[in-house]
Amino acid sequence: MGKLSAKSDYESLRDARISENMARMEMLGLLRCAVELSDIASASSSRASPRKAPKPRVMSMTPLRRSGRLVAATQTASASTRRRSARLNGESVQHKALPPIGALSKLAAVAVEETDEDEENLALVVDKKRVQALQERRCDSKARGAVYDPVLGICCHFCRQKKLCGEEDCKRCGEGDLKQPCLGKTDCSSCHSSNGILCRACLKVRYGEAEMEEVRKNKNWMCPHCIEEKGIRKFWICNSSFCLKKRKIPPTGIAIYAAREQGYESVAHLLMDRLKRKAF
């Protein structure tokens, strides 16, 4: 190893600045104050009592709290007795005979018949106990309805309201028949899923579709999801909050007033125009 090289200009300049700062601090009395503060801190730390170690927690040997039922059971039964199978205790085990061939299918058929009877009874119960009260509360509004019913109501894909419709001929909402469809909700001819269920108000305001009577007459009516998947109308999308979030688009909220002020028929037409502008 060779000899260390001499100090560079930077190091010599640094040492000169350090010595200059130390002289300035001594002139201002900062060094004396620092020494006095360190002395006070050391004196206070020496006077402070040492921290006591935590005492180990002594667990009491008293019996644990138990319910009266368990205490009575332990008094009657011995402490060494444990639950064991009959085979280990030396007792004879009698196995049940298996059902004959074909008996299981008969039992399954009987169970299916019983479930069908239960559903019919449930429909009858709904028909007798709920219809009268529902008819008294049910309004004549044909928009979204005003009576919420979790049993008879069918959820709209957009507003997600299980409300009874105001259609006069609807046997589900008017008579409480669970086996009948709701005339105030749409049904997609392609998917027949919950995506194609829309109430009258959402169908008109959010999507600008035809009236509910025309949709019911049109047996080939398709929901916005199927229209988009089949490519029938370009830039035509579903504007529900679920579908917009999947597209990473913020939900529009109540945008029908802004859409009509700008001259659009519905919110769907407004979004379609926006998507066209972004694409081109």
- pLDDT tens track for 167-187: 888 888 887 888 888 888 999
Q: b/e per residue, 62-81, with b = 16+ CB within 10 A?
A: eeeeeeeeeeeeeeeeeeee
Name the residue with higher pLDDT: 77 or 251.
251
CA distance 25 to 206: 76
Task: Give the residue-averaged pLDDT of 88-112.
Answer: 55
Of how many residues is the chain composed? 280
Of residues 259, 249, 194, the one with CA closest to residue 226:
194
Band of the pLDDT at 114, cuts 50, 70, 90? low
d(CA 151, CA 224): 26
For residue 18, pLDDT over 80 is answered with yes
Q: What is the CA radius of gyration of the chain?
A: 41
Which residues is 163 bridged to in the sheet? 148
The pLDDT of residue 59: 54
Mean pLDDT of 75-98: 56
Burial class (CB in 10 A: 0-12, 13-18, 19+), 4: exposed
How does pLDDT run across 29-72, given as a tens digit for each residue? 888 888 888 888 887 766 656 666 666 665 555 555 666 665 55
Tens of pLDDT, residue by residue over 222-268, are 998 888 888 888 888 888 888 888 888 888 888 888 888 998 988 98
Q: What percent of the chain has pLDDT over 90?
A: 6
Per-residue burial over 244-275, b = 16 or more CB atoms within 10 Å of its CB, e = otherwise: beeeeeeebeebbeebeeeebebbbbbbbeeb
